[in-house]
Amino acid sequence: MTITIYHNPACGTSRNVLALIRNSGEDPCIIEYLKTPPSRAELVSLIARMGVPVRSVLREKGTPFHELGLDNPALSDDALIDAMMAHPILINRPIVVTPLGAALCRPSETVLDILPNPQRGAFVKEDGEKIVDESGKRII
Catalytic residue IDs: 11
Q: Which residue type is seen at 51?
A: G
The kind and range of the H/E element at 124 are: strand 123-124
Distance of CA 25 to the CA centre of its chain: 19
What is the rounded distance in angstroms from the CA atom of residue 125 to the CA atom of residue 40? 32
Q: Which residue type is seen at 74?
A: A
Residue 123: which of 42, 19, 47 has the closest Cα?
Answer: 19
- List strands edge to edge, sheet with 101-104: 29-32, 4-7, 95-98, 101-104
